[in-house]
Amino acid sequence: MTKRARLPTLLMARFLAAVFLLLLTTGSVRAQQPGQAAPPIKDPKFETLERQNREATLRSAELGAAAAKTDQRRIQASIEQIKEDFRRLQVIRTSRTPSQESGCD
């Protein structure tokens, strides 16, 4: 064979070798990547527990609203008590004589 005839054969051989190596490396790279994970084990009690947790959350939210309402009542009662105490102090102060105010008991 002449040099000219060998050149296409040599180029074709190198090209086929490159394609072969490329296919070989892509297969090994794909094998190294993690595949699909195993499907999760479904707990039969999971849905029941989840529903109970949601219900408990809702109940605690209702209790918080009731507690806030009770707190408002307590605050109003305390305010009324303070006002009444202040009125009593004013009455006591105005009923004292000047000698009692100076501390001469």
pLDDT per residue as tens digits for the range 32-45 = 666 677 777 777 78
| DSSP code for 96 | S
pLDDT tens digit string along 3-55? Answer: 667 877 888 888 888 888 877 777 666 666 666 777 777 777 888 889 899 88
The confidence score (pLDDT) of residue 103 equals 60
The sign of the torsion formed by the CA atoms of 98, 99, 102, 105 equals negative
SS3 for 103? coil
